[in-house]
Structure 1
């Protein structure tokens, strides 16, 4: 059950944000064995003053089109699955949305299964 937070500078239209979310979800399904309907994505928009980044970190040119993606997921995925996910999200967002490959920062936070509740105060994965 991944939970995804997407942060970007405000001003993108609804279609753009929807396409970003759907593209990330498809990549999760293809590389992380995420079941159908397991989609929880929140998009955060920030003013330019509140979205601070280094424009040339690690020699990768960043612009105001930068998107920061945090993925909270069960800590059961292999290194290969994680690398595959990074590549899938990057390639798909580049091809389908036009986001430059250098304008993506993606982080995965591994979560123990006992740390999820999907409602009713229950830890459904325990």
Structure 2
């Protein structure tokens, strides 16, 4: 049930974006062991002046292939998050040519009762899942 929102610079092709989303989904499947159709992804394309992503003094060099990813999810273990980060960077590099230094991720945790998948119902609370 993670919801992934991607911020990227505009200019990538539909195929490149699809490859990026598919790669990220494989990382979700591997790290979080969710069902195949547990896929929620949104892409925001931005003009270069709309994204300022530096390095917090870590010496990380960025390119125009930058991907900023927010992962909204129920709590995950540190091991799951670490595996996701590793798999995400591997998938994006191997399948899309995106360098690990161009991948920034933030996890936003919430509880299962914070989710509604539709119909005005919090399915985890009502037991509909």
Q: TM-score, normalised by structure 1?
A: 0.95
Residue of structure 2 in register with 1:48 after alignment: 48
2:83 aligned with 1:84: yes
SS in 1 for 2:58: helix
Residue of structure 2 in register with 1:15 after alignment: 15
Deviations 1:46-75 (A, max 9, x none): 001111122674111111211001110111
Residue of structure 1 in register with 2:67 after alignment: 67
Question: 1:21, 1:3 → 2: CA distance?
Answer: 12
Corresponding pairs, count: 125
- Alpha-carbon contact 1:56-1:62 (below 8 Å) kept: no
Question: 2:55, 2:28 → 1: CA distance?
Answer: 28
Residue of structure 2 in register with 1:102 after alignment: 101
Q: Aligned-pair distance for 1:21?
A: 0.4
Q: CA RMSD in A?
A: 1.2
Question: 1:34, 1:67 → 2: CA distance?
Answer: 23
Unpaired stretches in structure 2, ≥5 consecutive residues: none
